[in-house]
Chains A and B, each alone.
Chain A
Amino acid sequence: MIEEPYRWVEAIATRRDYVETQLSSGSPIIALTFADGILLFTVGQQKLFEIYDRIALGAIGHPGDIERLRMAAIELASTEGFARSAADVSLRRLAYYSLSPVMKNAFEQIYGAPFLARLLFAEIGATPAEDLFLRVEYDGAISQKKSGNKRFAVLAPTKKSAEQMEQFLEREDHGDEDMTAALELAFDAWAAGQKQAEEGAVLPGREEIRACRRERLGDGIMEAVVLERRARSPVQYRTVEQKQLAALSEQV
């Protein structure tokens, strides 16, 4: 098949459709910079992970594939951090040099299985301007939000969902709110990404989104982690306690 370029392109396109379909039922993940650092938020169990002192991961996809990629990222960061220092562990290098080529390769080797996963990495810097969000796709493509004052990134099951969340977060003011406000915003953004709007429909206002977020949450379990900018220990990753999240779901 490799000798016949057209059929190869066709096979890749089919594969892309297949992967997109597999990923389309995932729950969105939101990462945003707030007063104390970076917040990652989602609904669902164990989708947010600690990679290294300053790096967190959120993932959508097949649990087995997520686990393989997560382990690879931790191993790479840990060996680098041990051989040199924690300050030398770089998310950019991890994503571009190590993960992306592997994922691209797996995707294009059409006799093998691709990774059914999309990843969102966040790395906290000394200042908000140094925060880095990288999205790594199943085919190895990496995207990074172009600059702008609002620092956030989303990982969505579908393109439509991503657009809605990005539109929502671009519209809302944020950057220096406290933890509670940041959680509120992330929850609203998640609800905006859940809503499967009709083609061409205008994104509803925040009040309207908030009014229906409880319903969209259903029995889902919220999960949130924080990368603290001024943590007391070198490990800046921290899990947000369930009781803080419970307060969020009780309000309308």
Chain B
Amino acid sequence: MEPAGVQPLESGVSGATDFPSLLRRNGLLRAPIETNVTKVRDAAILPTQATTILAFKFADGVLVAGDRRATAGNTVVYDRADKVLEIDEHSIMAIAGVPATAWEMARVLEHSFQFFRRTQLQEMSVDGKVRALSKLLRDNLGFVMQGVGVVVPIFATFDAKASPSARLYFYDAMGAQFEAADFAATGSGSPAVRGILYYENTWGKKPLHKIGEDEAVVVALRALDTASEADTATGGIDRHARIFPMMKTVSADGIKTLPEERIAELFHKRVA
């Protein structure tokens, strides 16, 4: 398909209200498939979210972390995948699922928020952003039913003016959104991670929302290391190649990517 690019206008304006429909009109985004398609195979809706991503609220905001492994079946295809993505200055999306669909969704989302700000002359509200992702997931349902394109993301955002400021959402593959009070984890390694985060939050020295940044990094590292212990699709920490999980925080100051050296240091001191 040829990208549409800039074409002469006929009327001067097309009246698009949202970015995905503008993309569809220009042939840049596929139309949602009817969800009443027959299942290709019974195995089609097996969960194929081979990865682990997690997020929790800590003292400054939200920490989002993800391992770096990308798999195809039993094969590791990539060990430096970036599953924690910045969508705008105060929003992070972490992705579990089929990479092609997930990265495209993140790109559509990022451009949608900017398109909204430019056309409407104001930032999209947190609720609007959360719904926008939900809509993309629902439009993708046809592909999920066919067994291709399952995406189960986490969305974290920080709105200094609202209370609470830190907001965290996770989704199912059909687009239902759930606001998490303290933490969220998705992907094949998530059962172990949920156990750890629940334990830390309930019986740890402090509840998660009171711990500082260093402590938060340690919790995330330990959780991902545990997940990789039992789940082949989760990369955990690769000591040979010195590959560490990707971690970002979102707080009143915006998004910060934690430097690898710092994660490495905390790993050697507190985890290894």
B8 touching A102, Cβ below 8 Å: yes
B13 touching A79, Cβ below 8 Å: no
A181 in the interface, Cβ–Cβ < 8 Å?
Answer: no
Q: In the complex the two chains form, what is the Cα distance from A74 to B15 in whole Å?
A: 11
Contact of A235 among B114, B115, B119 (CB under 8 A): B114
The A contact surface, by secondary structure, is helix
Q: In the complex the two chains form, what is the Cα distance from A46 to B121 in whole Å?
A: 9
A97 in the interface, Cβ–Cβ < 8 Å?
Answer: yes
Q: Which residues of A contact B28 (CB under 8 A)?
A: 79, 82-83
The B contact surface, by secondary structure, is loop
B136 to chain A, nearest CB (A): 14
A75 touching B5, Cβ below 8 Å: no
B270 in the interface, Cβ–Cβ < 8 Å?
Answer: no
B12 touching A82, Cβ below 8 Å: no
B16 in the interface, Cβ–Cβ < 8 Å?
Answer: yes
Q: In the complex the two chains form, what is the Cα distance from A207 to B14 in whole Å?
A: 48
Question: What size tier do the contact residues of chain A reach?
Answer: 20 to 34
A35 in the interface, Cβ–Cβ < 8 Å?
Answer: no
- A101 in contact with B8 given A74-B118, A83-B28 (CB within 8 Å): yes
Stretch of B18-26, B68-76, B184-192, B209-217 with 4 or more beta carbons under 8 angstroms from chain A = B18-26
Q: Which residues of A contact B115 (CB under 8 A)?
A: 74, 78
Q: How does the 8 Å CB contact mask read for A82-112 relative to B, with 1 for contact and 0 for none?
A: 1110000000011001110110001000000
The number of residues on chain B lying at the interface, defined by a beta carbon within 8 Å of a beta carbon of chain A, is 28
B89 in the interface, Cβ–Cβ < 8 Å?
Answer: yes
Q: Which residues of B contact A71 (CB under 8 A)?
A: 13-15, 119
Q: In the complex the two chains form, what is the Cα distance from A244 to B97 in whole Å?
A: 47
Q: Which residues of A contact B3 (CB under 8 A)?
A: 83-84
Q: Which of B9, B114, B117, B121 has the most CB of A within 10 A?
A: B9
Q: Give A contacts to B, CB under 8 Å.
A: 46, 49-52, 68-69, 71-72, 74-84, 93-94, 97-99, 101-102, 106, 115, 233, 235
A-B CB contact pairs (8 Å), 22 listed = A46-B121, A50-B118, A52-B118, A71-B14, A75-B13, A75-B16, A76-B6, A76-B7, A76-B9, A78-B19, A79-B4, A79-B6, A79-B26, A82-B28, A83-B4, A83-B28, A84-B5, A93-B6, A98-B6, A102-B12, A233-B89, A235-B114
